[in-house]
Copies of this chain bind each other. A is one copy, B any other.
Amino acid sequence: MTIDYSIENVSVNKSFGGWHKQYNHHAKTLNCYMRFAIYLPPQASNGEKVPVLYWLSGLTCTDENFMQKSGVQRIAAELGIAIIAPDTSPRGGEVADDDSYDLGQGAGFYVNATQTPWSRHYQMYDYVVNELPQLIESTFPVSDKRAIAGHSMGGHGALTIAMLNPERYRSMSAFSPISNPINCPWGRKAFTAYLGKDQATWRNHDASELMRQAQQFVPARVDQGGADDFLVEQLKPETLAAAAKVSDYPLELHLHEGYDHSYYFIASFIEDHLRFHATHLKK
């Protein structure tokens, strides 16, 4: 099979004076073709290099959910921030998968897999930290000022990736993150499959562990709904809050009574996240 290394535009929609676009490209780290979405605010059409917010989605999502359901474009257009939404795992017929929704395609957990059969393609950590930003910054009118955010599995991804690379991100935020994956069913299942049974390797991808031991800080905001069905068993924001106290981490944690795990929650508070990131991206 001949690999096409070009980047291919597959959709364009004008949105709030800017442009939402989807692209396909061959990801070397993932060894497969990947689609991502970008929102370029109006300022990017005026020759300005705009800062970038990377958005990592949750289980079962693709690059489309956040762009279609969050309403982020309105605020990104006002603030002059580009938004990048990668897919949530490697994709394709040749890529290992699992019948369950919380492992395999749609469930990459933003780690580099070391175990068979996952390690051949599931290198989402390297893709999000290195390959995708290099592609974005060499292709689009964006600066190297980066922030990162995400939801649920993507909230776990955003917090861990930023804390492991504090020099690369100005700020980090999460909605309903899997805050302590080494102690919840979603995390334990995925980390066992992707990283193996040695739990020592898991701690490096656990937001609460990283926050407790942190010495360099990335300004952080987390929002959690009080009526979230996954709150107690899977998300555990109280563990993250306790970790922040230990290291005196600059974490704003907001609890919202009545809100659930859906995009209706994200849409209700995405403006607050964008304004939080803007204060750090505009410095």
Contact = CB atoms under 8 A, between A and B. Distances in A.
Secondary structure type dominating chain A contacts: mixed
A14 B74 contact: no
Interface stretch (A112-120, A233-241, A245-253, A258-266): A258-266
Contacts of A15: 264-265, 267-268
Contacts of A265: 13-15
A20 interface: yes
A140 interface: no
B264 A13 contact: yes
Contacts of A16: 267-268
A256 B265 CA distance: 30
Q: How large is the interface on A (under 10, 10 to 19, 20 to 34, 35 or more residues)?
A: 20 to 34
A79 to B, nearest CB: 16
A201 interface: no
A9 interface: no
Contacts of A13: 260, 262, 264-265
A68 to B, nearest CB: 5
A268 B190 CA distance: 38
A141 interface: no
B264 A20 contact: yes
Contacts of A14: 225, 227, 256, 258-260, 264-265, 268
A254 interface: no
A73 interface: yes
Given A14-B259, A68-B68, A259-B14, A264 B73 contact: yes
A267 B264 CA distance: 15
